């Protein structure tokens, strides 16, 4: 996959990050850690989740690409479409546990999310001359994804949670 083919992934990552930050701006810093309802995540927990997932994906891709790829036959490469992640039609409990050490003030957490995204984009730039499409592993809901699909999933995942952060903002504003 050449530099030009990676551009749509970079653009989607940029759009997802911008949309998320716009949505997060609506949540006052003083209510950042407030849960909008019973069993629901706060905006802080949501950002912590995004950081853990994105960091985990990039770490895993980096680790896998240090080895020879394990062939995955075409039928096993089938997966659900990425738009299902963004649509947020099906609500899922995350298999990734929260990391309480990531909880902090709003600006500190958003800066951390920016740093994680910078690392993702740096990884894409570092590997853009290699073909990483043979490196695959299973997503817990979608099925088998290759390295590029995982990068796209990061953006789709953030767009999914952009909808959630908007919901958090709406619910918190009703509680004033």
Q: 172 or 3: which carries more pLDDT confidence?
A: 172
Tens of pLDDT along 115-164? 999 999 999 999 998 989 899 988 888 889 999 999 999 999 999 999 99
Please, which residues have CB within 8 angstroms of residue 51's CB and are 6 or more apart in sequence?
102, 109, 112, 113, 116
Q: Is residue 47 a contact partner of residue 24, using CB atoms and an 8 Å limit?
A: yes
Domain count, the chain: 1
Q: How far apart are CA 100 and CA 103, in angstroms?
A: 6
Q: What is the span of the domain harbouring residue 134? A: 3-174
First-to-last alpha carbon distance for the chain, in angstroms, is 50
The two tokens of residue 94 are 């995350």
Q: What is the pTM of this model?
A: 0.87
The CATH number of residue 91's host domain is 1.20.120.450
Tens of pLDDT along 61-78? 999 998 887 777 666 777
- Computed over every residue of the chain, the mean pLDDT equals 87
């Amino acid at each position: 996959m050449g530099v030009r083919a990676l551009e749509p992934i970079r653009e989607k990552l940029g759009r997802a990050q911008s949309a998320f930050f716009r949505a997060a701006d609506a949540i006052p810093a003083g209510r950042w850690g407030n849960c909008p309802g019973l069993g629901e995540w706060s905006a802080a927990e949501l950002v912590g989740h995004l950081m853990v997932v994105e960091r985990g994906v990039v770490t895993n891709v980096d680790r896998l690409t240090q080895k020879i790829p394990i062939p995955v036959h075409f039928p096993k490469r089938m997966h659900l479409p990425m738009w299902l992640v963004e649509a947020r039609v099906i609500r899922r409990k995350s298999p990734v546990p929260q990391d309480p050490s990531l909880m902090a003030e709003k600006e500190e957490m958003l800066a951390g999310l920016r740093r994680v995204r910078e690392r993702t984009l740096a990884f894409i730039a570092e590997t853009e001359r290699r073909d990483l499409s043979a490196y695959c592993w299973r997503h817990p809901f979608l099925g088998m994804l290759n390295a590029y699909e995982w990068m796209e999933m990061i953006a789709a995942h953030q767009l999914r949670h952009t909808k959630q952060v908007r919901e958090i903002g709406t619910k918190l504003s009703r509680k004033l």
